Structures are given as structure tokens and as C-alpha cells.
Amino acid sequence: MGDNKILPAAVKRWDENTVAKTINRFPERKEIFHTISGVPINRLYTPLDSKNLDYEKDLGFPGEYPFTRGVQATGYRGRLWTMRQYSGFATAKESNKRFHFLLNQGQTGLSVAFDLPTQIGYDSDHPLALGEVGKVGVAIDSLADMEVLFDKIPLDKVSTSMTINADAAVLLAMYIAVAEKQGVPMDKLRGTIQNDILKEYVARGTYIFPPTPSMRLITDTFKFCSEKMPLWNTISISGYHIREAGSTAIQEVAFTLADGIAYVQAAIDAGLDVDDFASRLSFFFGSHSDFLEEICKFRAARRLWARIMRERFNAKDDSSCKMRFHTQTAGCTLTAQQPDNNVVRVTLQALQAVLGGTQSLHTNSRDEALSLPTEESVQIALRTQQIIGYESGVSDTVDPLAGSYYIETLTTEIEDKAMEYIKKIDEMGGAPAAIEKGFIQREINDAAYAFQKSVDADERVVVGVNKFQVNEEQQFEYLRVNPESEREQIKRLSDLRKTRDNEKVNIALQTLRAGAEGDTNLVPLILEAVKVYATLGEICGVLREIFGEYKAADL
Amino acid sequence: MSSSKKIRVLVAKPGLDGHDRGAKIVARALRDAGMEVIYTGLRQTPEMVVRAALDEGVHCIGLSILSGAHNALFPKIMELLKAEGVDDILVVGGGIIPEDDIPALKKVGIGEIFGPGTPLDEIVEYIQNNVKF
Amino acid sequence: MSVADLVEGVLSHNRRYLARLISMIEDEDGRALEALSLLYKHTGKAHIIGVTGPPGSGKSSLVTKLTAEFRKRSKTIGIICVDPSSPFTGGALLGDRIRMQEHSLDDEVYVRSMGTRGHLGGLSRATSDAVRAIDAFGKDVIFVETVGTGQSEVEVIDIAHTVIVTDVPGSGDDIQAIKAGIMEIADIFVVNKSDLPGIEKKVAEINAMLDIDSRERVWRPPVLLTNSRSGEGIPELLDTILAHYEYLKESGDLQKKGLQRSREELQDLMKYKLTQELSLKLRDKPEYEEAIRQIAKREIDPYTVAEQLIAEFLFSMSR
């Protein structure tokens, strides 16, 4: 790649003559330019910068190891990415309505948001659920709610992603039970459970149990699904939240992949063969502000993971090395000031994800710095994806930016720097140990603080916030969750407890307790409990008793 | 004010919300401004917040919440403080709190709500100017 | 709030008054010293346990677990956690309370976080006065958890009856142990996180250091293993702590230390008072500033000046 005899001299000449003349008259805007992650950006990239790139080894072909250029040979020419808007709020009935709305507007997959009590294993009438029911997602207390949530949604035709972690096994069981009632066998079900507990400890906070029993639950789901649900993604190893908590792009890749390594190792330690489960691992990244860095990030992550799976874990199947991922545009970049600007931000961020080869995409709505999205706002967000997919033409060739001198240089840089972090984490004993030592949390915290300082110092511009502000007289409607929903939900729960067969519930919970004390796979036991309408809180209550609760303690 | 007098602040995360990026950044900024900051960590009940605030003798409580549960939890905390006969602790809040909700919160005694995009200096100055020493 | 209110509030076990008193102590509010002098006769009952050691050795979780164990035995607890104040900004992130959540609503447990506030030693007079306040309040056991780097580990011995020094396996800090006299102050060594590799090595290191220690000691500090996450070793540690206190009583060391402590405290208070008075007298005196300039220029020597100023001061005080 690139002439290396004549070019260096030419570059020098350009620098010393043309550039020097221009700078004399118009100095550059800054002394040093760097990406959001702190990688220095040169004025110009030339073939000299990618002279060490080996096309076959480092780039390869889409659909082939190391998958730098994408995991599908035909890219989006075969099928556009799944348009999958994260949604859910108040009751199952209202969320079901929103699901139908989105599907009718052209969304191609479902993504369920659960409220905090549900994510943390509490029923809606638990004291800690006060004020939280239905606020950040839908309240699910039992299979009964789940049935309403998916009313008239054919689970053999729609794939569903569920953002649920500590108690993912319970929601998975409920989904299976709902499908069964629809006559859809579990081996036909397509979807994902996020099921990534490590990032909860570090960035998201909806943990329940301590690390060891949590890993057990995760490997139980891996095992169960590898036998019974071949089309189901057992985990969505997430960097999105790590990024939202303030990390750089490099850290996002590093810490996510380090978590991935921990999960793969745990599964192997639990007796699984890597090629039995690795092809169903999936990932989840954010798409942040630095347009080109983000595209490089996605490509770097794909290549790095492929290499890790092959070289470190000796995966024989290529499909075990394929990193498939979902992307969400970065919530932390949305501003409350001049919310319509967010449409523009989201458009750029969505485009980044598409140019980076994402498998599915959620675009944020303009009002999400303030609240959950209204129908109008989420429609714009969906249209954003549809315009990119159908009007812009970027989907008509695979990995169009490959070969750009800057793109390939930065992709390699991100991969290398992320690998340095991973080595460091390995020396600490892996991601779980690094988390216990507080290393990952501190890195994220430092990056977040540095970012905030640079915004406050006006070094980093946030349009509408520290530059181009207006006197806000913003009057627009945003979504309010009706507080009545909480009362309704609690009433429904109380009715359920009276009408179900409580003896069956008790037996199922006892069986679960015994299983948790031993080492049987808990997923079938949870499935049984769920089918007799044991509540989420009751099931998690048993597990809390046996496993204990995680006590966070870091600053 | 003797030179050893410091403003003590409790930064708390009431409710189940697990997003602590903002709370931790504010805690650091307050420390950098010379204050003593006690960060409670996640999942604080109103009772835990008030107990910590009183035992630690703080001048200010900063409540961070992004889950929408502020209308239930903030008034509860103010109620508990009142029941303890406390009227000299400055209480401020931040996170995702719609403008419409702010008047009602101020009515129950919250001093100020700092929404997304608020510069750290603004928060520091407000606390310095409004704590009762 | 008057001094009388404070005293009555503390003695009637009202935690708001205790909290207020400690705030006044930290702020060097004159009422605090008055209150403390009235409360003094109610002190001397608590067993004061210092916990020190390097960062990351799990001091806070150890204290939390010990508190739980003491509570099982119906003891009431006070905990003071000291964290370093930034020498530049004067501020501090007090991050120990967050590790003690399980006791947050136990009425018999009082937790207070304190910054070092510029005291180079790490433990200030405010800390020992705060301990005293909690003692007067009636707590059976008072933990003082210190920063664990630098001089503060040594200072904790002035305050505590029983000093626990913590460490973790694999910390590789042999130098750490030797420096700052940390080996000399420990009454009990605790190697925490006993599930980590390197346990035997760490225990051997500590025992080797103890062997070198040439002092005559009846109480040879035991080296205990704990896992503050699982709770292993905690009851045994508690028994050892209690045994140490018994030993102090039986051997007469408790009285000896008490005398020593009172002597040091009196001297400290007198020094403090004298320094205060002296500063007051000399503050803004132009002759004083002039003398300093002359000393710097070598026109006069500091020894002579000091003698003169003290003589004048004592003379003026005797009038």
C-alpha cells in the first residue's frame, strides 16, 4: 500500500510549503486535535500511514475471519439492519400499544424496556418500588403481565430483545411461556436477553446477586439455550452503558471485550465447549459524537474479538469469532437545551453505526434528555433509520469506508490501545477481579470527570449548552407516566395472588430453592415457577435468600 | 468562620436508579472546591438518606435521580427532615426532573434543581452561597 | 444551641446532639470545648479500637463485619472513619460510610466520616475529641478507622486501646510494614481477604518482623486470617479483641496507658493553649515582623529572639 520512496519527500514538501503558507495566514483552530478518546489526529493521512496494513490479514472480506469488514458477506444488500426501538413504560397494556405502533410504523424487531423494580427483582408492591413502577420501562410482575405485553404479537415472526440482566432468566422463562401459549416452540424463538451482569456492577447499577452466583445464572442460560434455543442470543455483552457512564471509545471496547472474555471463560469452566455457545454471544455498543472514531471503533472491536476468540480461546468455527452487535445512539450526548438539535445528533450517530456495520439499531428520540419519548418523537427517530436505509444509498455496498487512510489507521490504533487495557486487566486476574479492585470504575470515573471539565472549560463544545445557547422558552409536550399505573399494577398483582393456585406456587418455589442450593440448571425450574404464576419478586426473593445480595462499595 | 470550617455535603442516590455518573462527578467537583463530601452509594431509602445526613452533620444534601421517581421520593425525604425538626439543611437535586415538576419540589423545600447541562461551577457556587453556616 | 443543651442532649442519648457536637468540634467552635469539659467525667467507658492498614486491605468491610458481630453480642457501636483531605483544595471525598450500609438504620450504631483537614499526622485532635464525645454518649465500642498511609497509623495508638493492623496477601509491601513504626503499634494483625493467594507468605512475613522486634512483650500480637466478605474469622477476631482488652486490664497496662495518655493530652492541650495565646499576642505586631526580617538577614539570631519574646510573654502573663 502506497509508494514509499517518493511519497515521504512529497509529504514533506507539502508540509513545508503549502501548509506552512496557509498556516501563516490562517492558523488552525487548535494547537492539537484529538478524538474524544484522546487519540491525536493528524492534519492528513496518506498511504504512508497504512503501509503496514495487510489487506488479507487485517481487513479480509465481509463474512470471513477476522470480520473487520463485517459479519455478513452481502452486508445490508441482503437485509437492512434491524430497526429496533427500545420501549416500554407504565403497564403492559400501554407498552403493548406502543409495540404495535412501532411495528406498524416499520420497525422490524422489538426491544423491551422494563421498569427498575422489575430489573432489580422486586414486585410492584415492594416498599423499594415506591414511585418507580412503570417509570423507566414496563412493570412485569408475573406471566400474566407478560401475556398482555405480547398480546397479538406473533413470537414466531418477531424477534425480541429484552434489556434485563440480573433476573434475565426469569424474563426469558416468561417469554418462553407466552410463546408456548401461542403455540410457538422455544427452538423457533428469536431474540436476545442482555444478561450482562459485569457491566451492572460497573456502570448500570441493576445488579441483584454477588458475582459468583450471577455467573452461575448466566452459564445456566448459556447451557439451556445451547440445547433448546438455537436461534436465541444468550447475552448482549454491553459497552453502551460503560460509555454512557463516561468512558472513552477505547475503554468502551476494552472493558466490553474484557467482560466478554470473562463470560467465555466462565462458560468454558462450567464445562461448555467454546464452539457450542460462542456463536450466540452478541454485543451492544453506543454510538457517540466523534463520527469517524466511532466507525473505527466498531471495526476495531469486530477484528479484536475475532482474534481473541481464535487465538486465545481456540475457537474452531468461524461463527464463534463473529461479533454481532446492536447499537444505540448515545443518550449522554442528548441535550435538554434545544431538543430538536438531538434529531441531528442522532442522525449522525445512526449513520456511524450503519457505516460501522451494526446488526440492529436503536435511535434515541429528541426528547429523551427530559423524559421517555412521545409517539411523535419516536416516529422521527424511526424515520431517521429508514431514511438512512432507503434513501441514502450507504447500504448498497459493504463497508464503504474501508481503505481510507485515516479510517484504517485509527481502527488499528483503537484495537492496539484496547488490547493494552485488556492485558492490564488480565494481569489483575480478569474483569471480575479488576471490578473488585475498582480499576474499571476508576478509569470510567476519571474519563467522565475529564470530559465534564473540558465541557465546563469550553474546550469541548456542546451546541446549545456551552455555545449557541438561546433563552429557553421550550414548550412542548413530553411523555408523562400516569401515577395511576402504579396503583393499577399493585391491584392487579394483589388479585393475581388470590386467584392463582398458591399451593403449586409454593411447591415450585421450594423446588427452585433446592435447585439454587445445589447446582442444577435453574432455568427449567424458573420456567416451572413462572408457569404457575409465581411472581418475579417471589422467584428473585428465593434466589436472594440463597445467593445473597451484592453490596456495592466504590467511589 | 474559622479556617477549619468546611462545608459538608451528602450526595445521595435515592430509589432504585443506578446511574451514578453525574452524582460522582458532582461529588468530585465539590471536593475540588474544598468541601467534604459523603457519597451514599446507590439504593438509598428516604430513611437512610436522612439518617446519614443527620449523623454526618451535613450542611447540604444533594439528591440525584434519573428514574422519574423524584415526585415520590423527594417530598418523602423533606417530610422526614421536617419530622426531625431540621430546617437548616440545604437540599438540592439533579438528574432527569422535568421543569414542570420543579415548582412543586421547591414548595416542599428543595432549594434548587440542576438539570442536564448545568456547569459544575454553578452547582458549587449555589451551595457555597446558600448553605447555612 | 447552648452548651447546656449540648451536654444534656448527648447524655440523654439524642444522636442529633452528638452529631452537632462533633460538627462543632471539627469547626473549632468554643462551645465544643466547654461541652467536652463538662462531659469528660462521663468518658472512659468505651473500648476504643483503632483499625489501620494500607488502602485496599478491606478495613471498612472488616469494621462493618465486626460491628455486626458486636451487635449480636448486644454491644452499641460508634465508628469514626478518617479519610485524607486534599492538601491543595482542603476538600475530601469521605468514602467509607458507603461500605457500611448494612448498619445504616440500626439505632445503636453511629457512623461519622471525618477528613484529616490538613493535619499532617492524619489524625487530628478533632478525631480524639470526637471519640470522647461518642464515649460520653455511651457507646460500648468505638472504632477509629484511619487512612492507612503515612503517619496516621502511628498516631492511632494514642487514641485506641486495641490497634488492629490490616493487610492483604500478595501486597508485596515489605517496606510498608517496616516504615513508620507500624509493626510496633499493632496489638493484632489481621490478614484480610484470606481467599486470595499468598496467605502463608504474608503471615510468615509478619511473624518474621515480629521475631526481629526486640522489645520485651507479654502480649505478642497474634496474626489472624479473615475474609470480610464471607465473615470467616470474624468471631475469632472479636474474641481476640476482647481478650486483648482483658489483658490490658489484668496486666495494669490499661491504667498505665491511661496515665500516659492523660499526661500527653494535658501537655498537648497546654501547648495548644499557649501557642494560641502567644499567636494572639504576637499577631500583627510590627516588631514581631521586623524581628523576623532581621533574622532572615542574619542581623540577629532566632535563639535570642525566642528567649526574649518568651520572657516578655511570661512576664506579661504574670501581671
Tell me: pLDDT of C182 over 80.
no
d(CA A166, CA C71): 31
Q: Which A residues 53-92 touch B at CB under 8 Å? A: none
Q: Cell numbers 465539590 correspond to what residue?
A: B30
Nearest to C95 among A437, A551, A555 (CB): A555
Put simply, the answer to whether C111 touches B84 (Cβ < 8 Å) is no
pLDDT per position as a tens digit, A76-107: 999 999 999 999 889 999 999 999 999 999 99
CA distances from C90 to A126, A190, B31 (A): 42, 56, 8
**What mean pLDDT, rounded, does chain A reach?**
95
In a mutagenesis test of the B interface, which of C15, C24, C27 is the best target, namely the one with the most B β-carbons within 10 Å?
A: C27
Confidence (pLDDT) at C157: 72
Neighbours of chain A (3+ CB pairs under 8 A): B, C
pLDDT per position as a tens digit, A171-201: 999 999 999 999 999 999 999 999 999 999 9
Domains and CATH numbers, chain C: 1-42 (no CATH), 44-251 (3.40.50.300), 263-318 (no CATH)
- How is residue A372 annotated by DSSP? S
Q: Compare C33 and C210 and report the one with higher pLDDT.
A: C33
**Contact residues for A200 (Cβ-Cβ < 8 A; gap 6+):** A165, A166, A206, A207, B18
Q: Which C residues 116-155 touch B at CB under 8 Å? A: 117-118, 126
pLDDT band for C312, please (50, 70, 90 cuts).
confident
Interface B-C: count of C-beta contacts within 8 A: 83
Tell me: pLDDT of A285 over 80.
yes
Neighbours of chain B (3+ CB pairs under 8 A): A, C
Put simply, the answer to whether C61 touches A553 (Cβ < 8 Å) is yes
**Contact residues for A211 (Cβ-Cβ < 8 A; gap 6+):** A197, A198, A201, A432, A435, A436, A550
Q: What average pLDDT score do residues A528-553 get?
A: 95
Tell me: pLDDT of C74 over 60.
yes
Tell me: pLDDT of A223 over 70.
yes
Q: Compare C58 and A210 and report the one with higher pLDDT.
A: A210
d(CA C170, CA A540): 37
pLDDT band for A3, please (50, 70, 90 cuts).
low
Confidence (pLDDT) at A29: 93
CA angle, residues C4, C6, C8, in degrees to nearest 5? 70
Of C54, C150, C68, give the one whose Cα is nearest residue C103. C68
From A530's Cα to the closest Cα of chain B, the distance in A is: 24
Of C262, C63, C47, C265, give the one whose Cα is nearest residue C138. C47
Q: What is the pTM of this model?
A: 0.90
Tell me: pLDDT of C319 over 80.
no
Confidence (pLDDT) at C186: 87
d(CA B55, CA C107): 11
Using an 8 Å CB-CB cutoff, list residues of chain A that contact chain C.
Answer: 437, 551-555
d(CA C181, CA C163): 13
Q: Is C306 on the interface with A (CB under 8 A)?
A: no
Tell me: pLDDT of C153 over 70.
no
Q: What average pLDDT score do residues C121-127 get?
A: 72
pLDDT per position as a tens digit, B9-23: 999 999 999 999 999
d(CA A128, CA A125): 8
Put simply, the answer to whether C101 touches A551 (Cβ < 8 Å) is yes
Confidence (pLDDT) at C58: 86
**CA torsion A246→A248→A249→A253, rounded to 10°?**
-80
From A464's Cα to the closest Cα of chain C, the distance in A is: 31
Tell me: pLDDT of C227 over 60.
yes
pLDDT per position as a tens digit, C196-220: 778 888 888 888 888 877 677 788 8
From C312's Cα to the closest Cα of chain B, the distance in A is: 28
Q: What average pLDDT score do residues C126-143 get?
A: 95
Cβ neighbours of C119 in B, within 8 Å: none
pLDDT per position as a tens digit, A19-68: 999 999 999 999 999 999 999 999 999 999 988 999 999 999 999 999 99
Cβ neighbours of A555 in C, within 8 Å: 93, 95, 98
Put simply, the answer to whether A206 touches B18 (Cβ < 8 Å) is yes
Cβ neighbours of C111 in B, within 8 Å: 55-56
CA distances from A3 to A9, A46, A52 (A): 11, 10, 12
Question: Which residue type occupies A426?
Answer: D
pLDDT per position as a tens digit, A415-450: 999 999 999 999 999 999 999 889 999 999 999 999
Put simply, the answer to whether B121 touches A555 (Cβ < 8 Å) is no
Q: Is C89 on the interface with A (CB under 8 A)?
A: no
A304-313, B121-130, C89-98: lowest mean pLDDT where?
C89-98
**CA torsion A121→A367→A359→A273, rounded to 10°?**
-20
Q: What average pLDDT score do residues A221-232 get?
A: 96
Tell me: pLDDT of A267 over 60.
yes
A315-349: string of b/e by CB count within 10 Å (b at 16+)? Answer: beebebbbbbbbbbbbbbbbbbbbbebbbebbbeb
Nearest to A335 among B28, B70, B116 (CB): B116
pLDDT per position as a tens digit, C268-292: 889 888 888 888 888 878 888 899 9
CA angle, residues A332, A336, A338, in degrees to nearest 5? 120
Tell me: pLDDT of A121 over 80.
yes
pLDDT per position as a tens digit, A391-415: 999 999 999 999 999 999 999 999 9
pLDDT band for A478, please (50, 70, 90 cuts).
confident
Q: Which helix (H) or strand (E) holds B80?
A: helix B70-83
**Contact residues for C270 (Cβ-Cβ < 8 A; gap 6+):** none
Question: Which residue type occupies A122?
Answer: Y
For residue A344, how far is the Cα from the chain centroid? 21
Of C98, C94, C60, A335, give the one whose Cα is nearest residue B28. C94
Q: What average pLDDT score do residues A320-346 get?
A: 96
Q: Which residue of C has its CA nearest to A438?
A: C56
Of B85, B59, B66, B86, give the one whose Cα is nearest residue B13. B66
Q: Is C101 on the interface with A (CB under 8 A)?
A: yes
Q: Which B residues 57-76 touch C at CB under 8 Å? A: 57
Confidence (pLDDT) at A342: 97
Question: Which residue type occupies C117?
Answer: R
- Contact between residue B77 and residue B63 where contact means Cβ atoms under 8 Å apart: yes
Q: Compare A473 and C86 and report the one with higher pLDDT.
A: C86
Reading the block at residue A191, the C-alpha cell is 431474540
Question: Among the ranges A113-127, C41-55, C253-267, which has the highest mean pLDDT value?
Answer: A113-127
Confidence (pLDDT) at C173: 56
Of C76, C59, C65, give the one whose Cα is nearest residue C238. C65
Tell me: pLDDT of C175 over 80.
no
From A393's Cα to the closest Cα of chain C, the distance in A is: 52
Express as a percent the part of chain C with pLDDT over 70.
92
Tell me: pLDDT of C154 over 80.
no
